[in-house]
Amino acid sequence: DQTVEFPEPEIGTTAVNAETGTHEAAATKEVAIVDTVKYKNLVIGHEYTVKGTLMDKSTGEKLLVDGKEVTSEARFTPEEKDGSVDVTFTFDARGLEGTKVVAFESLHVKDVEVAVHADIEDDGQTVRFPEPEIGTTAVNAETGTHEAAATREVTIVDTVRYENLVTSHEYTVKGVLMDKATGEKLLVDGKEVTSEAKFVPEEKDGSVDITFTFDASGLAGHKVVAFESVSVKGV
């Protein structure tokens, strides 16, 4: 009865992309990472603060976006000694393709740090930003070859093979035909020949077709080349 116990708090965390619930995210203008902090041995009725910082795994240093650290915190008062609380980081991830970020968290009570979880090698705390790659093959839709007659209506199908996309995100592939002789965009009746397709990949690697249909009646002797780009959320 004369004893007061000071429990030793413990925390562990799991960070995921808020949109997909996975450890991968597309490097878009606005990304939200949710870090679920599980705690043990807290004192019921006290107000605690969880403070988080994102780290760049390759350098071991704090991740900087526009020269600023990416941080977040959450205040809570536990009703049970064991439980969990979410800390959300929202930031501009453009340019982070190929990067892995790791969430470091610390637990505070009345400005005193009582627990830390900061392991740069912990996969559970890590969210990856894959670096997409594409390659394309364009053929005449009618013959399946790389030659087409200069007729009034020609359809070229460009098969875009992709790697390292993030499943469940909507991507847009945009294409334009180029005149190989000039290196400029092909113009038909003064207009560019363009096409696009939207898709949501079910696997990180795969392919999607994009189709150009145009009047080629004046293109005898020409070679056209399909240029493609893949974007996500307007990036």
pLDDT tens profile 46-72: 999 999 999 999 999 999 999 999 999
Q: What is the strand order of the sheet 206-214 is part of? A: 133-140, 154-163, 206-214
Alpha carbon distance 140, 158 (integer Å): 9
Q: What is the DSSP secondary structure assignment for residue 124, as one 8-state letter?
A: G
pLDDT single digits (tens) 138-197: 999 999 999 999 999 999 999 999 999 999 899 999 999 999 999 999 999 999 999 999
CA of residue 2 relative to chain centroid, distance: 56
| pTM recorded for the entire structure | 0.85
Give the residue among 178, 174, 201 at the shortest CA–CA distance from 188.
178
pLDDT single digits (tens) 95-130: 999 999 999 999 999 989 999 999 999 999 999 999
